[in-house]
Structure 1
Amino acid sequence: MSNIITKSFRINLFIMKLCHLYPPEKRTTLFKIRAYLIQILFVVPVPVLGIIYLLTEKNLDVEKANYNAGFLAQATCLIAKLFPFIRNGDRIKGCIMYFETYCVPLKKQSQKNIINDCVNVCRRNTFIFLFCVTGGVTSWATRPLFWDGRNLPVDLWLPFNPYENWFVYSCVYVYVTVGELFSSLVTGILDPLIAGLAYHATGQIKILKDNLEHLLEFDNEKLTVNEMTKNVLIYNRIKRCVVHHNATLSFIKEFEECFSPVVFSQFAGSVFVICFCCLQMSKVSSEGFYFMQLVMYFSVILAQLYFYCYYGSTLFEESNNLTNAIYIGRWYDYDTKSKKALITLMERSREPITVTAGKILDLSLATFATILRRSYSLLAVLKNYE
């Protein structure tokens, strides 16, 4: 099947091109300059000015400080997430399109169903996550409407008073809102994209396992050839499986080199965001608009982490069972040469495929639980110092 990446991430790639995070065929210096300017104009100012405000404000309200700190932690980690896409755009593009250029022939309907499932899951995740992130930013941007007087969605240090007249306030408000809408769109398409690529690698492992289990079958029919020809065919199929396995390992290596820093920045920021969200939810009424906003924001952050950890865990589990797929096959009917080739593949696959964040944390459900525990520990510390 061709164009599986384009079908899976059509919306993601379209928005990335608009945001200058996906380079064209011939990337020029001007394109890179425009990409940096867009990030400097729309991504950097709000977290930088917000942090300066927290550091310089003398009469700081604790509740608003908690709210600002959680938001600024997420906005700051986004800067680290976007930087590799600009600096290493061509390499990341090659990683994204890896399975677009390398396509294993799919001879069985069950294998086509595996790819179709990957495509549908990736598209579903993008729609759901983009909708949730956009809804969260909308509620965040409209929150000042429920406050007394004119306020910005987040407190910022500014060299002028934005509340002197309505025009100045409106300009600052629109600028902050547009900047965070840009950030939300980028977040809403990058997280499902990275997690979806890991799921496509899982799909390739599933296809490889199916081929290894049915080396003696083709379209559900037994081979009707003489013994010598059968041995040659079996050995050639094993070689194709080895090539497929090596190609998948190469993708995982490139995937980790490209996206490991991106995922780690998200994990680091999410610990603080989860902590501050829980702290705020413990202070406000459960019936108000602010509480619903916090719940939505909290859910989006958990979904970001869960996407990475769940699909990383799925990849690990499928690769860990690759040896079992070889054993399930009719290896006892193969010739000695084919058996030796299978033993070599089994030894190569004994170490399961793991993807890490920053080469420190494995992408797994165990890591997801660890992050929640660390967030709770930080929350307990902050509660003691209130």
Structure 2
Amino acid sequence: MSILGVWNPPKDESILRKLYRYFMLSLQHFFLLFQVIYMVGVMGDLEEVSQSSFLLFTQACLCFKVTVFQVRMGSFRELLAQMNSDVFVPQNKGHEEILKLQATRIKRLLLGFMISSQTTCSLFALRPLFDDANRNFPFKMWMPVKPEHSPQYELGFLFQLLTISMSAFMYFGVDSVCLSMVIFGCAQLEIIKEKLLSITSIAEKRANKPTEVNSILEENYRVLIECVVQHQAVIKFVKLLENTYHAQLFFQLSGSIGLICMTALRILVVDWKSVQFVSMVLYLSVMCSQLFVCCWSGHELTVISSELHTTLYQCCWYEQRAPFKRALLFAMMRMSRPLEFRAGRYVPLSRQTFVTILRMSYSYFAVLNQANSRNEVLDHQTSITNHH
């Protein structure tokens, strides 16, 4: 993201670096503008619209995400500051292992998404070399140059190839920032659970280390208060994260319905032996996997936070003093409400949301496919009537 010019710029950003950042962002917006111009020209042709709309939706989502990321850069810096605050610092190797485990899980998912997205971009670039008899650009979109002449064809081909590759990296980068922060919240909740379970019986603690009972009770109360403070910090962090990125997530969830629908519709009319068919199938799988990672991360946050009040009850609260039990009661009342990460402040990210989006996409796909089949039948009957 630093190479692409969309990462957190330094406070003393030079003019040259700022111009480079604006140039990289303008390339993506020009790419979107060329697609909009082409889409306006073919409006009414269902086949052409279905062939180009998936790329239009993807690029529009990317431009919106990057724009939101740049506009909300102040909130992003505040999120980084909260992640580095003292309340979230791991206190032992066990806490560090929890952070590493959660980081490894999200890294593997995002790495798979990045590799598959770049593979899809490569197949899109190879499509005109294998499927088209004439020289064509990788994507159907308006271009200021024509493919019939050189070096216009080479320049246009290079522009589309480099821009779509950068788009995939930006798409991956912006998503990785948001989703990794959600998983960071999950890791902090796991650390809270580990701290609560460390409140064992007094006899067990005295067996491991001879200590006065009063010191053990004071230490247990300190751990409980520390967990409550950390839980409040996680709530504040998740709330700020949702306020920062809820718009782009809602735009992505809404656009995914159209993306999946139009891509599946296109797959039906493409020759299964062509490179385009393989690229479209891979593109559909990439979009579904990216959508699943978003919903999975929100689901993990909700599930882990819902287990906290049960973990509170599992500690040896019955051996503690009255202040401990009173604080425990209030903590259980608050932690009984699980955290939810919402897109658009309304749609919770969960596995159920993922299934709902797939169902809606299939419903729209079935309607469009039926309408397209009916139009083909009518066109066929009209041609037979005209022939007779």
Q: TM-score, normalised by structure 2?
A: 0.87
Aligned counterparts, 1:75-90, within 5 A: 75-90=59-74
Q: 1:244 aligns with which of 230, 235, 241?
A: 230
Q: Distance in 2 between matches of 1:246 and 1:114?
A: 19
Q: Contact 2:301–2:339 at 8 Å: present in 1 too?
A: yes
* Alignment RMSD (CA, Å): 2.3
Instruction: Find the counterpart in structure 2 of residue 277 from structure 1.
Output: 263
Q: Distance in 1 between matches of 2:224 and 2:244?
A: 30
Q: Distance in 2 between matches of 1:352 and 1:238?
A: 19
Instruction: Find the counterpart in structure 1 of residue 252 from structure 2.
Output: 266
Q: Contact 2:34–2:141 at 8 Å: present in 1 too?
A: yes
State the secondary structure of the residue aligned to 1:166.
coil
Report how many aligned residue pairs link the two structures: 367
Q: Contact 1:53–1:156 at 8 Å: present in 2 too?
A: yes
Q: Distance in 2 between matches of 1:262 and 1:285?
A: 34
Q: Contact 1:205–1:318 at 8 Å: present in 2 too?
A: yes
Structure 2 residue 348 is the aligned partner of structure 1 residue 365: no
- Gap change, CA 1:337 and 1:103, over 3 Å in 2: closer
Q: Distance in 2 between matches of 1:137 and 1:336?
A: 63
- Gap change, CA 1:100 and 1:126, over 3 Å in 2: farther
1:107 Cα deviation after fit: 5.2
1:154 Cα deviation after fit: 1.8
Instruction: Find the counterpart in structure 2 of residue 203 from structure 1.
Output: 187
Q: Distance in 1 between matches of 2:38 and 2:222?
A: 66
Instruction: Find the counterpart in structure 1 of residue 118 from structure 2.
Output: 134
Q: Distance in 1 between matches of 2:42 and 2:47?
A: 14
1:362 Cα deviation after fit: 0.6
1:45 Cα deviation after fit: 1.6
- Gap change, CA 1:383 and 1:96, over 3 Å in 2: farther
Structure 2 residue 176 is the aligned partner of structure 1 residue 192: yes
State the secondary structure of the residue aligned to 1:44.
helix
Aligned counterparts, 1:334-349, within 5 A: 334-349=320-335
Q: Identity of counterpart residues, as a percentage?
A: 24
State the secondary structure of the residue aligned to 2:199.
coil
State the secondary structure of the residue aligned to 1:43.
helix
Instruction: Find the counterpart in structure 2 of residue 22 from structure 1.
Output: 7
Structure 2 residue 294 is the aligned partner of structure 1 residue 311: no
Which has more radius of gyration? Answer: 2
Structure 2 residue 76 is the aligned partner of structure 1 residue 92: yes
Q: Distance in 1 between matches of 2:155 and 2:59?
A: 20
Instruction: Find the counterpart in structure 2 of residue 66 from structure 1.
Output: 50
Q: Contact 1:43–1:183 at 8 Å: present in 2 too?
A: yes
State the secondary structure of the residue aligned to 1:339.
helix
Instruction: Find the counterpart in structure 2 of residue 226 from structure 1.
Output: 212
State the secondary structure of the residue aligned to 1:312.
helix
State the secondary structure of the residue aligned to 1:17.
coil
Q: Contact 2:145–2:156 at 8 Å: present in 1 too?
A: no
Structure 2 residue 113 is the aligned partner of structure 1 residue 111: no
Q: CA offsets, 1:10-50, max 9 Å, x none?
A: xxxxxx2122222234154845554333211x211222221
- Gap change, CA 1:27 and 1:349, over 3 Å in 2: farther
Q: Distance in 2 between matches of 1:61 and 1:107?
A: 62
- Gap change, CA 1:175 and 1:258, over 3 Å in 2: same
Q: Distance in 2 between matches of 1:208 and 1:331?
A: 16
1:194 Cα deviation after fit: 2.0
1:109 Cα deviation after fit: 4.7
Q: Distance in 1 between matches of 2:151 and 2:59?
A: 26
Instruction: Find the counterpart in structure 2 of residue 8 from structure 1.
Output: none
Query: Comparing 283-292 with 79-88, which one deviates more in the overlay?
Result: 283-292
1:243 Cα deviation after fit: 1.3
1:196 Cα deviation after fit: 2.0
State the secondary structure of the residue aligned to 1:295.
helix
Q: Distance in 1 between matches of 2:64 and 2:157?
A: 25
